[in-house]
Amino acid sequence: MTPLMHGFVWGLVIATVLVTIAVLSIWFERKFSARMQSRLGPTLVGPAGILQLVADALKMMQKEDLIPEKADSILFRLAPPFTVLFTLSVAAVIPFSENVLAADLDIGVLFMLAVGGLVVFPVWIAGWSSNNKYALLGAMRAVAQGIAYEIPLVLSAMVPVVLAQSMRFSDIISVQAETHWFVIWPLGPGLIAFVIFFICSLAEANRIPFDIPEAESELVAGVTTEYAGMRFGLLQMAEYLHTLIASAVAAAIFFGGWDGPFAPGLHWMVLKTLALFFTIFWIRWSLVRFRSDQLMALCWKYLLPLSLLLVMVAALFVHYCGVGA
């Protein structure tokens, strides 16, 4: 296969599979959260209520396509597709096995951070164009939180880059396959960097405990207040996709990606991704929301200095012990 065809085929497959998993996870989350609260969740439509998804999608499509009169209608329409677009394009650089990858870029990690960081703009545009104070407040909070947590995110993703001496995802995974997963070895920096990366990913995706942008008790539904039907559906889908892709990235750069015994690499990568994805749901239904000031204090006073320190420690480790050893 030529590189062109390779990118084409796997780009198509990876994107389709990820969107499918993200949609299915909505059903899973409803079941899971119900069980955590001693409920049953959806049971009526299809076996174990799995067809509830189809029913919901059909319902959404039959809603009226509401665009508020005072809204900036062009920006209002453009924002939801762009959230999905930016989120999904990050998936291109994640390798799911030695061969299953759409684009093995030289600047892989940087691409992931740069394009992932763009997602705050469609979210802000969605809030601003709605011309609704809850939506705009939610949007301002989303952007402030998104950019603040971007810094520790960039720095903690730097630790695997220093340890592997490369920004290419496949190189980072190969180094881990030859030595140890970065979350295990070097003991300390790898694990802490992973925790910071994971926390920041949650914050970037506005998931509980970082969902102050759509705090329903004060902001109605945050950015999505004025959205109805499929546009609302797209905004929701982007959020689920964001967490899924962040899990895949963390699995690749900290948990050794496709590296694992007995089974083919792809299985391991999918398993690790889904395990992290599940953890996000678990956290979501266990914790309560942070306040804005706690959120900012956590980011600037703890995560930022700590992640700066970690990069230095990782560099010292590489200097004295060599790459990944």
Partner 1 sequence: MLAEYTGVLVILVLGVVVACAMLGIHLLLGPRRKFAGKHEPFECGESQIVSPRRRYAVKFYMVAILFVVFDVEAIFFYPWGAVFQDLGWFGFMAMFIFTIPLAIGLIYEWMKGGLEW
Partner 2 sequence: MTESLIFFALAAFILLGAVRVVASRDLVHAVLWLAVVLVLTAVMFLMLGAPFLAGVQLLLYTGGVITLMLFGVMLTRRHHEIGVEVDSSRRLPGALGALALFGAMACAIFRTDLPAWPSSAPVSALEIGRAFLTDHLIAFEVLSILLLAAMIGAIVLGRQSDFGDEPETVYRKGGRP
Residues 15-74 touching partner 1, rule: CB under 8 A, are 15-16, 19, 60-71
Sorted by sequence, the CB contacts under 8 Å of residue 289 that are 6+ apart come out as 208, 209, 210, 211, 212, 215
Query: What does 306 bind: partner 2, partner 1, none (CB cut-off 5 to 8 Å by kind)?
Result: none
Interacting residues with partner 1 between 97 and 126 (CB under 8 A): 101-106, 109-111
| Amino acid letter, 15 | A
Residue with tokens 């999918």: 270
Query: What does 93 bind: partner 1, partner 2, none (CB cut-off 5 to 8 Å by kind)?
Result: partner 1
Q: Rule CB under 8 A: is residue 75 a binding residue for partner 1?
A: no
Q: If you write DSSP's letter for every residue of 174-194 in order, what string do you get? A: HHHHHS--TTTSSTTHHHHHH
Q: Rule CB under 8 A: is residue 302 a binding residue for partner 1?
A: no
Interacting residues with partner 1 between 162 and 191 (CB under 8 A): 162, 165-167
Q: For partner 2, which stretch binds (CB under 8 A), given 89-97, 117-125, 255-263, 265-273? A: 117-125
Q: How many CB atoms lie within 10 A of CB 169?
A: 25
> In angstroms, what is the minimal distance from the CB of 118 to partner 2?
6
Nearer to partner 1, 67 or 191 (CB): 67
Q: Cα Rg for the chain, rounded, in angstroms?
A: 20
Burial status of residue 36 (CB atoms within 10 A of its CB: 0-12, 13-18, 19 or more) = middle
For partner 1, which residue of 25, 52, 132, 170 counts as binding (CB under 8 A)? 132
Q: Is 165 left (phi over 0), alpha (psi -120 to 50) or beta?
A: left
For partner 1, which residue of 112, 119, 142, 158 counts as binding (CB under 8 A)? 158
Nearer to partner 2, 146 or 189 (CB): 146
Interacting residues with partner 2 between 147 and 206 (CB under 8 A): 147, 150, 154, 167
Question: Rounded distance, CA 189 to CA 310, Å?
Answer: 6
Question: Rounded distance, CA 46 to CA 280, Å?
Answer: 26
Q: Rule CB under 8 A: is residue 114 a binding residue for partner 2?
A: yes
Phi, psi of 13 (to 5 degrees): -65, -50
For partner 1, which residue of 176, 179, 206, 225 counts as binding (CB under 8 A)? 225
> In angstroms, what is the minimal distance from the CB of 77 to partner 1?
8
Question: Rounded distance, CA 224 to CA 286, Å?
Answer: 24
Residues in contact with partner 2 by CB under 8 A are: 75, 105-107, 110-111, 113-115, 117-118, 120-121, 124-125, 128, 140, 143, 147, 150, 154, 167
